[in-house]
Copies of this chain bind each other. A is one copy, B any other.
Amino acid sequence: MASWEDNLRQIEPYVPGEQPQGKDIVKLNTNENPYPPAPEVEKIIKEFKTEDLKKYPDTTAQPLVEALSEYYGFEENEIFVGVGSDDVLAMAFMAFFNSDKPILFPEISYSFYEVWADLFRIPYTKTKLNEDFTLQKEEFFKENGGIVIANPNAPTSIAEPLEFIEDVLKYNQASVVIVDEAYVDFGGNSALSLLNKYNNLLVVQTFSKSRSMAGARIGFAIGSKKLISTLNAVKNSYNSYTMNMVSYLAGREAVLNKAYFEDRVNAIIKTRENCKKSFKELGFTMPDSKTNFLFVKHDRVPAAEIYEKLRQAGIYVRYFKKPRIDNYLRITIGTDEEMNKLLGELKKILGGK
């Protein structure tokens, strides 16, 4: 007999990193920023006129788009904002990947790409990586219905040079190419500089990492007017009002304070570079991270074991039980204090071996 359960969607969802609660926990598992947002963010929230909540927000989140327009030097109709870069990317998958040919993305990358392709029933092929986790350019020179590249890539932390991205674009004039730059502010080279030459390029960034605003849910995309208007049509067919008022007003303030942003990003980069040395001294190897995390492997002790022992000590890092990377840990760069606590604990764990 037919049942209503027959038509329920069967789907394997993405499993986000744990969000443990507790005062003494060191949370280095979801690539959050250890520093608070710009001081003006606090001010605007304190001054927010709560009565305004009775009205619908601006559908276009105009105050935020305006600030991004000035900051990055693109017109407002070349900018799209969403509820975190996940929302932006999901809409971009729906908007741009309507071919019967498979879309291409790296076999090791942000695991949501596969989840969205499944959700929207988009065919896909994963491209091979080199032994050192760098991407293989030729893998993107195949017939396709679209391309997604995270640059820097996650969880590998590696940034491909801009020439790599441009070569992919040159070969793929018949596809939309999405470059997911969630981590670019920590040392990558943004493909924003290629937008004047390629109107099939969409660059996606987020406020969740470099701008310390994961809790506000803000992501954005910059691309040609044609791509952005298509994204807006899809968004307005899904939910006209995705971004709440407080988030777009607060996000605007974060963009306006450029000095604070650069200062905090530089602090994280400095901590990261120090950590690279300390981790190597402890017997870890890793790619040269251009992100706010390290992707490390120990020469003697299995990652799963280190992960478990750190967890018991109240230090959370990310472990992916997946082929090729199941002996690696992804460790977010926290404050110097947090990293020293982590390094101290690692010494204890590895010292006993």
Contact A9 B94 (CB under 8 A): yes
Which residue, A9, A27, A42, A84, has most C-beta atoms of chain B within 10 A?
A: A9
Distance in angstroms from A195 CB to nearest chain B CB is 14
As a 0/1 sequence over residues 187 to 210 of chain A, the CB contacts with chain B under 8 angstroms (1 = contact) are 000000000000010000000100
- Pick the contact of A217: B33, B37, B86, B241 (CB < 8 A): B241
Contact A83 B86 (CB under 8 A): no
Given contacts A45-B45, A217-B242, A246-B246, contact A54 B33 (CB under 8 A): yes
Q: Enumerate chain A interface residues (CB-CB to B < 8 A).
A: 1-9, 11-16, 19, 27, 30, 32-37, 41-42, 45-46, 48, 50-59, 83-84, 86-87, 90, 94-99, 115-116, 118-119, 145-146, 173-176, 200, 208, 212-217, 226-227, 230, 232-247, 250
With CB as the reference atom, state the residue of chain B lying closest to A39.
B50
Chain B residues near A46 (CB, 8 Å)? 46
CA distance A237 to B121 in the complex (A): 12
Chain B residues near A2 (CB, 8 Å)? 174
Given contacts A7-B96, A9-B234, contact A213 B54 (CB under 8 A): yes
The 24 sampled A-B contact pairs (Cβ below 8 Å) are A3-B174, A5-B226, A7-B97, A11-B233, A12-B233, A13-B237, A14-B237, A15-B236, A16-B56, A35-B54, A36-B50, A36-B53, A54-B213, A54-B214, A54-B215, A55-B215, A57-B214, A57-B217, A83-B241, A87-B238, A87-B239, A90-B239, A119-B234, A244-B246
CB-based closest 5 A-B pairs: A13-B236, A42-B50, A36-B51, A53-B215, A4-B200
Contact B9 A236 (CB under 8 A): no
Distance in angstroms from A115 CB to nearest chain B CB is 5
With CB as the reference atom, state the residue of chain B lying closest to A198.
B4
Chain B residues near A36 (CB, 8 Å)? 50-51, 53-54
With CB as the reference atom, state the residue of chain B lying closest to A54.
B212
With CB as the reference atom, state the residue of chain B lying closest to A209.
B54
Contact B9 A240 (CB under 8 A): no
With CB as the reference atom, state the residue of chain B lying closest to A103.
B7
With CB as the reference atom, state the residue of chain B lying closest to A21.
B58
CA distance A46 to B50 in the complex (A): 9
Distance in angstroms from A36 CB to nearest chain B CB is 4
Distance in angstroms from A176 CB to nearest chain B CB is 5
CA distance A191 to B298 in the complex (A): 57
- Pick the contact of A213: B6, B11, B53 (CB < 8 A): B53
With CB as the reference atom, state the residue of chain B lying closest to A200.
B4
Given contacts A51-B36, A54-B37, contact A9 B95 (CB under 8 A): yes
Contact B53 A250 (CB under 8 A): yes
